[in-house]
Amino acid sequence: MQSSTRIMLAAALALGAMPLAVTAQPRPDFGQREFNAKCAVCHGLDGKGAGPLAAHLKKAPPDLTTMAQRNGGVFPVAKTYAAIEGAGGGHGTREMPVWGLDYTIQAAEQLPDLPYNQAQFVRTRIMALLEHLTRLQAK
Ligand code: HEC
């Protein structure tokens, strides 16, 4: 195992263990926790777009539970990854934060003295979010 992988694993385990100590409720997974902490404010806890901040945006946050439905029943993995990462900037105004950049900054703040793979730090989080989003898809 690469040392960066081992550090990521240790960090994920440490993060995962925290809520257990505080509460007896079932432990939410990493992707769900990221989503609830960073995305639900706009997209809603259920992903349908009715988060508390939604009314204050110029553009309504899209319903993230219909992404597969709107794509012929297949969850659009690459497109969604790109939408979250925000690389390339896209066109026009973007109200959605650029999470790739956000995670890059977060990595530098959290792991200032540890060797780590920055791209992997970002990718791990976006992949966890994608996994959570696939579970939110309307059947
Ligand atoms: C400040 C409000 C806000 C937050 C926070 C936010 N989003 Fe968004 N999101 C939007 C808006 C608004 C759009 C529509 C495109 C745009 O204007 O940028 C969008 C678009 C998207 C899309 C594209 C959906 C589609 O149908 O193409 C995805 C996927 C997405 N968001 C996921 C997330 C994830 C995952 C997070 C948390 C890491 C998140 N969003 C956090 C407001 C937000």
pLDDT in tens, 37-94: 999 999 999 999 999 999 999 999 999 999 999 999 999 999 999 999 987 555 556 7
Q: How far is the CA of 2 from the centre of ligand 1 (A)?
A: 33
Atom of ligand 1 nearest to the CA of 58: 12
Structure tokens at 7: 């550090």
Q: How far is the CA of 82 from the centre of ligand 1 (A)?
A: 11
Dist. CA 72–CA 74, nearest whole Å = 6
When the pLDDT of each residue in the chain is averaged and rounded to a whole number, the result is 85
Atom of ligand 1 nearest to the CA of 99: 38
* Amino acid occupying residue 58: K
